[in-house]
């Protein structure tokens, strides 16, 4: 699997707008003040048209991630996001133009402060790229073999993946496209936590991407519907198997076995909080107990995942009676 690294100024813009639209603070206070009125104006226009701004940003981000380059924003791209969100009004072209004008205003504000953002991103992702190239390919192969009991399908890992490097705003974050073999990751210069290297976050997203692609293809052929949250990289399907949770201890375990991170008690709680922030912290001990008692090696993966799903569900209802059974 070859990675094509892209310094994505457009995706950096969209994530910044999305962040401010969620009423979260940027580290650059002056930039926040510069773009906040525009973001609010666009959001108000969308709400008045009965459109959820959060959904538009999600679809725009997904469209950009699906590209193999740092695509320029256009009214047509904004209209595609509107159509994907279910808006089919005859005025969609006018609303798309309003979104585009607002984004151009925000882009000018960002360019004023970071006129060479693409060059900065190349410098920022260089350490991450080097670390992944040193350790990632071998770990990726090991993870795939574990998921498939030694024999992953030939098309499990795509031959080429686009990696969009973006400006950090969330102290480390990543996600994947719902359409193509593409992921994005914040280009942080140093690891957010020394126990959980950022290149492992990239391995996690690449694995999530392959799981999503395989699940989508399988469900499509069987007539089952599936969905993907592109902003967070969370994957869900009708069976609700907790793939994205189960692979966290798998990746850490394989990295520890290979001496890539310290062995012994690996940092599962930290990794879950960093890679799956939407997962309640109280569920981390459930995942750890499942891994220690079941994991993905003692029985077929679907059975192990169903046991994890049952345990997570039981923990939500404060039912301590769930027991794991191995073959």
Interval 116-161: pLDDT, tens: 999 999 999 999 999 999 999 999 999 999 999 888 888 899 999 9
Instruction: Tell me the pTM.
Output: 0.88
Q: Which residues pair with 164 in a beta bridge?
A: 6, 184
On whether the CB atoms of residues 143 and 250 are closer than 8 A, the answer is: yes
104: its two tokens: 């151009």
Measuring CA to CA, which residue among 183, 164, 138 is closest to residue 8? Answer: 164
Interval 196-217: pLDDT, tens: 999 999 999 999 999 988 877 6
Interval 241-297: pLDDT, tens: 899 999 999 999 999 999 999 877 789 999 999 999 999 999 999 999 999 998 887
Interval 153-192: pLDDT, tens: 888 999 999 999 999 998 899 999 877 889 999 999 999 9
60: its two tokens: 């725009």
Place of tokens 């492992």: 200
Q: In the prediction, which pLDDT does 224 show? A: 45
Interval 79-105: pLDDT, tens: 999 999 888 777 788 999 999 999 999
Measuring CA to CA, which residue among 65, 77, 69 is closest to residue 182? Answer: 65
Distance CA 223, CA 237 (A): 12
Q: In the prediction, which pLDDT does 236 show? A: 38
């Amino acid at each position: 699997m070859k990675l094509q690294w892209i310094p994505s100024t457009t995706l950096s813009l969209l994530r910044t707008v999305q962040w401010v639209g969620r009423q979260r603070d940027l580290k650059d206070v002056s930039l926040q003040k510069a773009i906040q009125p525009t973001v609010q104006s666009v959001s108000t226009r969308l709400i008045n048209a009965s459109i959820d701004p959060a959904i538009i940003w999600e679809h725009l981000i997904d469209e950009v991630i699906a590209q193999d380059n740092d695509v320029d924003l256009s009214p047509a791209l904004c209209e595609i996001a509107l159509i994907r969100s279910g808006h089919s009004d005859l005025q969609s072209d006018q609303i798309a133009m309003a979104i585009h004008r607002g984004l151009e205003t925000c882009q000018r504000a960002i360019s004023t402060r970071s006129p060479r953002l693409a060059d900065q991103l190349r410098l920022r992702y260089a350490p991450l790229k080097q670390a992944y190239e040193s350790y990632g390919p071998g770990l990726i192969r090991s993870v795939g073999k574990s998921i498939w009991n030694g024999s992953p399908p030939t098309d499990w890992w795509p031959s080429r993946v686009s990696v969009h490097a973006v400006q950090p705003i969330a102290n480390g974050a990543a996600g994947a496209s719902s359409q193509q073999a593409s992921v994005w990751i914040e280009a942080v210069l140093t690891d957010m936590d020394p126990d959980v290297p950022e290149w492992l976050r990239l391995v996690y997203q690449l694995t999530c991407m392959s799981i999503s692609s395989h699940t989508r293809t399988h469900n499509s052929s069987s007539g089952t519907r599936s969905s993907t949250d592109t902003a967070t990289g969370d994957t869900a399907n009708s069976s609700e198997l907790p793939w994205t949770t189960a692979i966290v201890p798998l990746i850490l375990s394989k990295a520890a076995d290979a001496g890539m991170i310290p062995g012994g008690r690996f940092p599962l709680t930290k990794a879950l909080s960093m890679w799956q922030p939407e997962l309640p912290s109280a569920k981390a001990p459930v995942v750890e107990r499942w891994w220690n008692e079941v994991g993905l090696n003692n029985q077929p993966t679907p059975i192990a995942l169903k046991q994890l799903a049952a345990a997570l569900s039981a923990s939500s209802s404060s039912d301590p009676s769930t027991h794991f059974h191995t073959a």
